[in-house]
Chains A and B, each alone.
Chain A
């Protein structure tokens, strides 16, 4: 029997797949494996005993428990707070909706270090929420995680809600269901896949959060991620770090499998429709109030951040911004010379240059991956290959950036891959961290293209390239630009991996901010605030531009 010809032959598929697989192999699998190898085979001997010993330590258990409970609580809060906002921003019509939608996205792309600083500003004894006494408690960390992640819930669930056909809900109402009953029996079941997706990815982000926990937890509270950092850099206990990395990897793979099962509903086909947003009605008042509350809560830390960057010695001043031209003070009294080799503003320039490189790398890689995993295939082997590739390229999401960064440090500094002094090392690491976001932004769009469009083009005589240009490219360019924006923002704020591999003569801004915070001497603290404001402003601008492109989802996870 003659099989219909695939647009892309098997050989072409393999050739195309070889490039991203090789890239991920060298720059991800190799470093992470190297890190794990150091831990489990110390001095060349296989020693699983050391790993087991680490897992039995009371401190390890405490760290794991801390990670699990803070992530769970933060996830639950993010979902509870995100749902009404998703409804209001995606189902109701009101002036300024586009701007608000863009603004709620800002916390998500803020550098985690900056988020930590902003939250601390808010809960500090002198801050607006100082009375609650949250400073130095785990609740400050939970607050930070929620602040960071609520946007994921709003965007993921909002995109699903936006295109949810109104008629099943109307049918239920016509059968006598009250608005509350409609929500419980029709709307939430239809949104379940989106909610589960959002919750699982938020949990993932919470469980691997680094900057927020490092800044807010200090030495008292550690999550698995910060503990790996501590074990690696301060205590040089590589077996323990490797053991924790392994635990993290296993837990996250398990989480993704469970989420995949939970997402499954009796009938996955959801009725999609272009739904016109309605004017707010009286029944929407609770959701609107909730939204206003959440928006206020999102704005508060950022406001606190801006205010504290403008307060020097109890007076309003731009001194902190002027100090961006300096190199920081190494000692408390300001007489100990420079903290950095270059001025802080050069770090901003470095960040932008590095993020630019990381963006084109992740776009190139992500586009190829997105094409690979959305190709239609008819054979079971093809489906398995595709599913495997899809999971493989999501791995960077589940592996600690700290592990990745340290892996880079120990594996890519000798032949065959010696990148120690290459300026591309940092961008490559950041591109890998941004890769899942790029892939998840492009995949739903490509998967949504009806294959019959391609078949129609082919039947009219278009070759594979022509088909690509006619059918795929027109729908892809906007998501591609959006992915570029997200990737740029993520790279700009990346801290976990960068902290390890960045060279002292070309630091990035998040790294500089963190070091300034470590040395809270004269003006250093305010300079860190000013740097955070500049970084946040830059990223907010990028996000606002991306939002104008009106790409529906922040990826579908």
Chain B
């Protein structure tokens, strides 16, 4: 099975985003970047499917030059080769523009299966996968917790809300967005890191003229909806104050 896994590189979780002067994006010059965690689960699922059914795992990403680092990480974990759709503008682009850029580079590869994470930790559109499916003409299903390969297609377990699930059969070629927690992640071994150095990262220029369909006109910190009482002092003092407040003010402890 020829499998593509689409990944995004996002700022690290502990980085504090600060708004730029135009209030249209963050000052990310000082940010560290990492593989978007939901995409790591998609990659792991792709690697497992290849181990079971054979084939190839091609990791794809759209973004500026720094994205090569995330692709290299995926190669170290076991992906066979990579496609990097490179353009600085893709760092802040909407899901449609990113999907268009990916689709243009991926179409000729004729993948059987495309996997993506559920959503990204930066803009959190949760759309790139489903839009890509529409652009490639693939059947798709989202928020997947299990993948079985069957004759003629797939049978996948979709997560519904509130602890409900549903099995759905669909034909190949298909695109699935993978739910975090579907598997246990592997990490790159030293051997994998060495092997990744020899693997191909094909650089592709995105098609010209993909216009943004939505843009941020104002970016700001949320205003607190609740009066939060912040409790300071040493751990012991804070604990004492909190317990007293929970007992006497909120009256939720006896």
A binds B: no
A interface residue numbers (CB < 8 A to B) = none
